[in-house]
Amino acid sequence: MGGYMDSTTNTYPKDLEALLGFLPDLSPNDRSIIERAYYRAETAHETQKRKSGEPYFIHCVAVASILAELRLDAEVIAAGLLHDVVEDTPTTTEELRAEFGTTIAKLVDGVTKLTNLPKDQNGLKSDSNRQAKTAESFRKMLLTMDDDVRVVIVKLADRLHNMRTLGYMPQHKQKRTAQETLDIFAPLANRLGIWQIKWELEDLSFRYLQPDAYRGIAKSLDERRASREEYVKTVAEVLRTELAKYDITTAQISARPKHIYSIYKKMKRKDLPLDQIYDVRALRVIVDEDPHCYVVLGIVHRLWRPIQGEFDDYIAAPKDNFYRSLHTAVMDKQGKTLEVQIRTRKMHEDAEYGIAAHWRYKEGRGSGKKDKGFEERVAYLRRLMNFNPDKDEEDATTFMSQVREEVFEDRVYAFTPQGDIIDLPVGATPVDFAYWIHTEIGHRCRGARIHGKLVPLNHRLKTGDQVEIMTSKRGGPSMDWLNQDLGYVKTSRARSKIRHWFRQQNRDEHITMGRSALERELKRLGVLDKLSYDAITHLMGYEKLEDLLAAIGAGDVNGSGITQKILEDERRKREEAKTELEKFKPRVRQNMVSDASQGVHIMGTGGLLVNMARCCSPTAGDDIIGYVTRGYGVTVHRVDCVNVHAISDTERLVEVSWGSVSEEHTYIVPIEVLAQDREGLLRDISTVIADEKINITMVEVVTRQQIATLYISLELRNNHQLLLVLDKIECIASVHEARRVNPG
């Protein structure tokens, strides 16, 4: 090992010959660069082995071959061969610079610095040091992309070969690596437009993360391959004959490759079985000129009936990664569905190779020459990095949230009334839209219209929505926008701006606003008179009540966080009481009787009926107590019920607790809704309740001076479900307040 080309036979090693075979038009100088890199890496890794037992150098050649298949330039392929020599051998960057020049040394150094990318995002620990390190890895990756995107392309090729050989790793490492690949590397390849790498990374990750689902789809596709290929061949011939009538004779018509993970996602998203997924049978048509794409589209729609809602024009409105193509789905006379993609050769090259197409090897073109498409892509990457939260907000969590939203999440494309495209993550709302346009528009946002129709501010935008933001002349954001349960804000950008606005207000105003928000949340929870402010202050980890109120007013603490803390504290107290009871009163546990119909345990009694008190309507999660009623068994009240406090014969009170409450247990809970009276109010409230799959047992409406008070009894499983539906009712237009009716 370690020798150069055999001068007597004028032959190369087989793997080097195969590598060079991808680039038959290499110049002598470029061929020399790749040859020298090959033998340098072979010598450096001579004694190293992979987990499979194979020579480590095989991995280096495989990475370079992936880059060569993309027809990247000689410098990138050389960097692929050498990408691990600095990290895994005594070779230094300076030595590479002296031997191969600055560019290749810089590429290898960049790949080396990307070795510690963040792990599975869903499993990140809360430790601040870990988050800071992860955020720094993100920053490093983005800065490297801005400096020379080829570094990330080499890293993607490295990850692709590691995924191809992942079977030699332990199972827990397989899943961890696959999840990391699906969370970071596949979306990154998609953002860079490198479809060839993107789809294979997704399929390989899916194979290890959900092997049963992967095998099921793969087996089904394989079983139908013969009939599918015959069908596609037939329709391709029909289409080719029709195109010839319009002098489109050079079109390439072929079956489109099937990607298992994309089929799986479509099955889940549309809740359809495999045989109803359109792109299982798929055709790709590649033509010479842009106008031909639309001619072909018209012919396809004339030959077969187009399926409504399944047409996308990514030529007129390209995706954010600059992907351009026409997509349509049609149905033939036998009812079989077929997906058709139509694009030009240039569009196809961009779709398959993305930003890597700029460096595809072409004789006479230097890598330093910049084309318009390349500049647009680099500008896009820079735009992703330009946003920084306000300096006092720029922590690891905020930064990582921003990067995940901008780089890794699926997108929606909405329009301003002037026709400008606004690119936002899926789930974004009109509030996010407003803050994207301008911070002040976000602050003064009071309403929104989509296609001229009023929508709530927590409405989820869809691609194609034309959004008009309605603003006030003065004022600021609402505290409720920071409550994640209410769904007003999706993006870290908007959330950061809102928090910064509240932080800039006077502390006295914060305290006043915080007190109002806290009272409203406690009232909604039904514990306003039960918990002291001092107890809540301690529970939330603050020393002074004013500090807590100021934090609430500034947006650092929101209502859902307070609610969660109170519920967690109540659960903890119940568990502690249960532990103490088991420790000091073992006999009581022997006398515990469960009433399965109501989901409660009754201490020290047996054979009694259990009824839920109508005066306070307890539901699972409330603190409760029992009262023995002659002839009626045990009536269960909330502990804070006024009727319980009025009982003089306290010996008839018995200890009760919630048992194993199943989905079958439901409890009648009355709520009160205060709203501006309008047409359709009751319908809108009923729809929200029905959407939560909650049954209404009683409704009473009282209207005075255009103010409607609705008394509604709901059939609920627990108090968490109650809080959720109250939050959603308060989001309805003209509703001022929704709360649980307090006992008595």
Q: Which residues are catalytic?
A: 87-88
Nearest in space to 743 (alpha carbons), one of 527, 575, 517: 527
* DSSP string across 250-267: S-EEEEPPP-HHHHHHHH
SS3 120: coil
Alpha-carbon separation of residue 193 from 86, 137, 197, 553 (angstroms):
29, 22, 9, 44
Across the strands, what pairs with 636?
612, 626
Q: Which tokens is 436 given? A: 């994207």
Alpha-carbon separation of residue 9 from 24, 35, 39, 295, 522 (angstroms):
20, 16, 17, 55, 86
d(CA 634, CA 639): 14
Q: Are 206 and 267 in contact (CB under 8 A)?
A: no
Q: Count other C-beta atoms under 10 Å from residue 643's C-beta.
A: 15
Strand stretches in 272-346, DSSP E: 282-287, 305-306, 312-313, 326-331, 337-344
CA geometry: angle 428, 429, 435, nearest 5 deg: 90
Q: Are strands 411-415 and 421-425 parallel, antiparallel or unpaired?
A: antiparallel
d(CA 587, CA 554): 51
Nearest in space to 210 (alpha carbons), one of 265, 156, 149: 265
d(CA 588, CA 568): 26
Nearest in space to 322 (alpha carbons), one of 391, 398, 229, 423: 423
Alpha-carbon separation of residue 495 from 483, 515, 551, 714 (angstroms):
10, 21, 15, 33
Alpha-carbon separation of residue 68 from 40, 114, 183, 513 (angstroms):
18, 21, 26, 62
